[in-house]
């Protein structure tokens, strides 16, 4: 059974650790469900309880966790706070990360004002655009800079993540510039299959792809 999970791409075969990337992609889900249980005053949870809320099997959760250590107690389950903290540490969510946005059109502006990044420790600290009419203008709290400033700003502001919100035909070029500037993680909203070196990760956000495969099932549904 498929499970809620983002789509992450890299260049040709590349896994730093020996932990399957499909496991890494599930960890944030566990963090999120643990936050739910924490909010509901649970002290301990079993793999069964976690699995229930994610529609997966308890065994898979236990196996996933076992890649990183032994966090549970037999007969008792997992300490909610402890496991959440461990997973956050493993994922690097115990610190904050700076990102830059490329493309401040309609979509880019929506991304800048999206309130979901901040509380998770992601901060958009720079914005770039190719359109000279936009450069210098204020978007949110940010001044829009030209693409040429990417390398300098990335270095100066310790930006590790690039968010791409430009039209499809410009996306690959922008991604190349980000990679050249040392960016190794890209959140890509453009509808393209980006080509990147093996040590760069790309997470694609593409609502249309989701819709386009669901219509297959709608068309063939009985009832």
Partner DNA sequence: ATACGCTTGTGATATAAATCACGGCCGGCG
Partner DNA sequence: CGCCGGCCGTGATTTATATCACAAGCGTAT
Of 194-213, which residues contact DNA (CB under 7 A)?
none
Instruction: Verify binding: residue 157, a copy of itself, rule CB under 8 A.
Output: no
Whether 30 and 47 have beta carbons less than 8 Å apart is answered as no
Q: Which two tokens stand for residue 72?
A: 């549970």
Segment contacting a copy of itself by CB under 8 A, of 12-20, 40-48, 75-83, 142-150:
12-20
Among 48, 120, 176, 180, indicate the residue that binds DNA (CB under 7 A): 48
Tokens in use for 171? 């996306």
Of the candidate spans 40-48, 49-57, 78-86, 138-146, the one that interacts with a copy of itself by CB under 8 A turns out to be: 49-57
Q: Which of DNA, a copy of itself, none has residue 216 at its interface (CB below 5 to 8 Å by kind)?
A: a copy of itself
Angle between helices 47-54 and 58-66 (to 10 degrees): 110
Q: Is residue 21 a contact point for DNA (CB under 7 A)?
A: yes
Minimum Å gap between C-beta 191 and DNA is 20
Contact 108, 135 (CB under 8 A): no
Shortest Å distance, C-beta 207 to DNA: 21
- CA-CA distance, 8 to 39, in Å (whole number)? 29
Cβ-Cβ contacts under 8 Å for 192 (sequence gap 6 or more): 168, 171, 172
The answer to whether 152 contacts DNA (rule: CB under 7 A) is no
Smallest separation, CB 206 to a copy of itself (Å): 7
Interface residue with DNA among 6, 17, 36, 63 (CB under 7 A) is 63
User: CB under 7 A: which stretch of 21-29, 98-106, 164-172, 208-216 binds DNA?
Assistant: 21-29
Number of residues that bind DNA (CB under 7 A): 28
Q: Which of 76, 28, 89, 29 is nearest to 54 (CA)?
A: 29
Instruction: Find, among 147, 192, 188, the residue nearest to 169 by Cα.
Output: 192
Q: Are strands 142-146 and 159-164 parallel, antiparallel or unpaired?
A: unpaired
């Amino acid at each position: 059974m498929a499970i809620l999970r983002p789509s992450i791409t890299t260049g040709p075969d590349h896994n730093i650790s020996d932990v399957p990337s499909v496991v890494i992609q599930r960890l944030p889900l566990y963090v999120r469900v643990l936050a739910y249980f924490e909010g509901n005053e649970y002290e301990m949870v079993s793999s069964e309880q976690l699995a229930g809320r994610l529609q997966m099997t308890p065994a898979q959760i236990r196996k996933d966790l076992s890649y990183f250590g032994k966090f549970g107690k037999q007969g008792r389950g997992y300490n909610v706070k402890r496991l959440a903290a461990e997973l956050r540490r493993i994922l690097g969510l115990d610190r904050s990360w700076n990102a830059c946005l490329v493309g401040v059109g309609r979509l880019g502006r929506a991304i800048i004002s999206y309130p979901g990044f901040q509380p998770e420790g992601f901060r958009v600290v720079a914005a770039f655009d190719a359109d000279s009419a936009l450069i210098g203008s204020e978007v949110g709290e940010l001044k829009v800079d030209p693409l040429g400033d990417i390398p300098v700003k990335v270095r100066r502001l310790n930006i590790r993540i690039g968010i791409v919100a430009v039209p499809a035909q410009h996306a690959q070029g922008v991604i190349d510039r980000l990679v050249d500037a040392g960016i190794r993680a890209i959140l890509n909203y453009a509808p393209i299959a980006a080509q990147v070196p093996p040590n760069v990760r790309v997470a694609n956000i593409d609502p249309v792809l989701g819709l386009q495969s669901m219509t297959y099932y709608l068309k063939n549904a009985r009832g």
